[in-house]
Amino acid sequence: MDAGLTLKELAGQTGLSSPFLSRIERGLTMPSIPTLQAAADALTVDIEFFFRSEEETDFVVSPGTGRRTVVSAMGSRERPAYLLELLAQGLDNSYMEPALVTLLGREEEVPTTTHGGQEFLYVVEGRIRLTLGSKTFVLKRGDAAYWNGRVPHKGISLGKKPARTLNVHLVPGQRSSSFVVK
């Protein structure tokens, strides 16, 4: 990793000595977890960065064909409430989780949900009723919403044809896979 810091600058930010950091860098000393955490904080990376294998990927390209579609959040009558087309599977240590969501459930079938982090929604096709806490919004193609995942929420398609949305979950400090998959 090239963070643009000298060992002296990193030492100043971590409280560790430059010779000690040099020994770690050359593999002559095994650092403790608190030492690695101090270095990770100074470099603004997750501590896992130091344990990554060289095969791990820092990017993913997701062609339009062959993406996995999964069922999420079963409705009260055991019918799928949402279908998720996962758009960025395979990125190591991802924090965001984008998906195209097809809204299938009916109002009475779909329970509200909560999760950690935040969620963004953009209506790609159709019209939906988005419930956020005690408020309800009708959104159409091109409309968007962004909320704290702790707010109870659900989306319902309002047309005869299921609506589709682009949803992104972001859970800082936690890996992705926050979409509930049944």
Let me know if residue 46 belongs to a domain.
yes
Domain that holds residue 35: 7-51
pLDDT score at 171 = 73
Give how many domains the chain has, as a whole number: 2
Let me know if residue 147 belongs to a domain.
yes
Let me know if residue 56 belongs to a domain.
no
Let me know if residue 91 belongs to a domain.
yes
Model confidence, pTM: 0.64
pLDDT score at 178 = 54
The residues, any chain, with a CB within 8 Å of residue 102's CB and separated by 6 or more, are: 82, 83, 85, 162, 163, 164
The residue type at 115: H
Distances (CA, A) of 61 to 116, 169, 178: 26, 18, 20
Name the residue among 96, 34, 14, 23 with its Cα closest to residue 62: 96
Let me know if residue 89 belongs to a domain.
yes
Shared domain check, 155 and 88: yes
To the nearest 10 degrees (0 to 180), the angle between helices 33-43 and 7-14 is 110
Shared domain check, 142 and 115: yes
Let me know if residue 61 belongs to a domain.
no
Q: What is the side-by-side strand order in the sheet with 135-140?
A: 135-140, 127-132, 153-157
The residues, any chain, with a CB within 8 Å of residue 154's CB and separated by 6 or more, are: 110, 111, 112, 113, 130, 131
Q: pLDDT tens digits, residue range 26-47?
A: 888 888 888 888 888 888 877 7
Shared domain check, 140 and 78: yes
Shared domain check, 76 and 47: no
Shared domain check, 82 and 46: no
CA distance 54 to 25: 16
Q: pLDDT tens digits, residue range 123-175?
A: 999 999 999 999 999 999 999 999 999 999 999 999 999 999 999 988 765 54
Shared domain check, 157 and 119: yes
CA distance 116 to 25: 36
Q: Check the CA dihedral 118-123-124-129 and report its sign.
A: positive
Q: pLDDT tens digits, residue range 82-133?
A: 888 888 776 666 778 899 999 987 888 888 889 888 999 999 999 999 999 9
Distances (CA, A) of 176 to 25, 27, 63, 120, 147: 30, 32, 20, 14, 17
Let me know if residue 25 belongs to a domain.
yes
Let me know if residue 98 belongs to a domain.
yes
Shared domain check, 74 and 11: no
Instruction: Give the number of other Cβ atoms within 10 Å of residue 71's Cβ.
Output: 15
Name the residue among 168, 164, 155, 165 with its Cα closest to residue 105: 155
The residues, any chain, with a CB within 8 Å of residue 61's CB and separated by 6 or more, are: none
Contact between residue 38 and residue 50 where contact means Cβ atoms under 8 Å apart? no
What CATH number does the domain containing 88 carry?
2.60.120.10
